[in-house]
A and B are shown apart, each in its own frame.
Chain A
Amino acid sequence: MPTIQALLNRGDYIVTDGAMGTVLFASGLEQGDPPELWNINYPDRVAAVHQAYLEAGAQVLLTNTFGGNRYRLALHNAQDRVEQANQTAAVILRKAVDQSKKEVIVAGDMGPSGEVLTPYGELAFQDAKDGFAEQAAALIAGGVDLIWIETMSDLEEVRAAVEGTREISDEIPIVTTMTFDTHGRTMMGVTPEQAFETLISFNVAALGGNCGNGPEEIIEVITKMTSLDQDTPLVAKANAGIPELVQGKAVYRASPATMADYAVKSYQAGARIIGACCGSTPEHITAISGALAKLT
């Protein structure tokens, strides 16, 4: 099993995959339907997206489990399918990666609960932790190499996710990225510097930013984190711009060339694990892989 450090020692940077959800819409996912249930209902379509990212040169792939915790699935009355949806997702990705015979990391994706933790909201820390532990257990049982916690805005929720994961496994590496989309901070007011300091204290294998208002925002986050001078690899996974509505359909405007340019700038700013988020496609990742390969 490759580790982040092993891949970085060999290649100086790692390319991750891009969007899953917005790509699945192109293969028929209906608005509002949870993508996670497609692991069970349409495993071939999920596998096809993984396959396309493998061919695009991604070395870290994320399972289709972003909203796979009990709180998110409960909104679709699927809270009793956490184990099945997550474990199946891990098996699908594991199989795609093994068949490719490439050295690729299988990352178990965990997004936010969608709730606000106490005292600001209603979700108790312990309940959040239990929910993440349940999801992590299923992902690990399905064979993931690491747990990838992303799009977080609240450091306490990150802590719940990390501690929940640690209840299941002492060793599995954890990567965490937050979304700095509100005046340079997360929605809950966390600065890149605060995030950096706290996430380092959780002994994460890598940390950084994802999602948000397009590439420039993440480059700024990476620049701030780089200035704090630490050895932990930084992750940049930006959206393909801000979506615009064209004749009733959302269009992400950032072209593969724009995202390739962003990838190079992220690298120059200090990011070493680089990919994309909402609105990106395998074409964007191909362009990112190509542009980064020319750098070294």
Chain B
Amino acid sequence: MSEDIDITKLETPELLELIQDDLYDGLADEVVASVNELLARDMTPYDLLNNGLVAGMEIVGNDFRDGILFVPEVLMAAKSMKAGMRILRPLLIETGAPQTGTLVIGTVKGDIHDIGKNLVAMMMEGAGFTVINLGINTDVDAFLEAIGEHKPDIVGMSAMLTTTMPYMAVVIEALEEQGLRDQLLVLVGGAPLNDAFAEEIRADAYCRDAAVGVETAKKLMAIKRGQPN
């Protein structure tokens, strides 16, 4: 629908809103065109990220949480967001824009399910986080190696199986042994998990779905950095 719109004639606030609508509708080419147009108008990559892509993905995330959108729509929105991010990421680095945070995420050892975990990774990227996705069947060494290399703020672990979720405790114990636990937020998720389990294994939080994961990450990051939410 937005292909009928001449974006050069839109005011900047309208164009930011259009980006949000196009993200919602999963229109990657349109998102890219609007991002380029706003960059040409000298909007900073940081403002464009937050007021365009992040704001748009937040709406997508809320509607996913509320059962208005489902996985197909979220995946199309995330693909569009990634298309916009491909342009913005190098510019964000170049301009030294403030970092939202870094997430290392993986499905734990023995578990090969990655649809939900990938959704979380995409939504976290959509919220402005730098995401290192370790994939499926991630053992404690792979987590530790990635943590050493990328110095994340958050470690995310996913499990779909009741038989693999206890492995999350193994990873957390290793973080404790290495003296890394206190400087990291550990978020866990997956179909068979719940709050009590997260508490039992000393994770910081259980996140029911990708949208809750983003909300929780933002909230805990603000607390960690001593900022009012």
Contacts and interface: CB of A to CB of B under 8 A. Distances in A.
A185 interface: yes
Nearest to B78: A120
A75 interface: yes
Contacts, number: 71
Interface string B97-108: 000000000000
A31 B163 contact: yes
Given A121-B75, A188-B70, A243-B162, A32 B192 contact: no
B187 to A, nearest CB: 17
B26 to A, nearest CB: 9
20 contacts: A31-B161, A31-B163, A32-B112, A32-B137, A32-B163, A32-B164, A75-B137, A116-B71, A116-B115, A120-B71, A182-B67, A185-B70, A187-B71, A188-B71, A188-B72, A189-B69, A189-B71, A244-B194, A245-B166, A250-B163
Contact of B73 (A183, A189, A242): A189
Contacts of B125: none
Contacts of A119: 76
Interface of A: 22, 25, 31-32, 72, 75-76, 114, 116, 119-121, 153, 181-185, 187-189, 242-245, 248-250
B200 interface: yes
Contacts of B161: 31-32
A76 B111 CA distance: 10
Chain B: interface residue count, which band?
Answer: 20 to 34
B70 A250 contact: no
Contacts of B218: none
A156 B24 CA distance: 22
The interface centre, meaning the residue of A22, A72, A184, A245 with most chain B CB atoms within 10 A of its CB, is A245
Contacts of B69: 189
Contact of B70 (A25, A31, A187): A187
B192 A250 contact: yes
Interface of B: 67, 69-73, 75-76, 109-113, 115, 136-137, 161-167, 169, 191-192, 194, 196-197, 200
A158 B92 CA distance: 43
Contacts of A183: 67
A245 B70 contact: no
Contacts of A182: 67, 70
Given A31-B161, A31-B163, A32-B137, A189 B72 contact: yes
B59 to A, nearest CB: 17
Given A120-B75, A121-B75, A32 B70 contact: no
Contacts of B192: 242-243, 245, 250
A26 to B, nearest CB: 11
Given A189-B69, A245-B196, A248-B166, 6 more contacts: A31-B167, A75-B136, A76-B112, A243-B162, A244-B196, A250-B162
Contacts of B165: 245, 250
The interface centre, meaning the residue of A119, A153, A189, A242 with most chain B CB atoms within 10 A of its CB, is A189
Contact of A114 (B67, B112, B163, B167): B112
A31 to B, nearest CB: 4
A188 B169 CA distance: 30
Contacts of A248: 166, 169
A22 B161 CA distance: 10
Contacts of B112: 32, 72, 75-76, 114
Contacts of A25: 163
Nearest to B67: A183
Contacts of B200: 245
A144 B144 CA distance: 47
B70 A120 contact: no
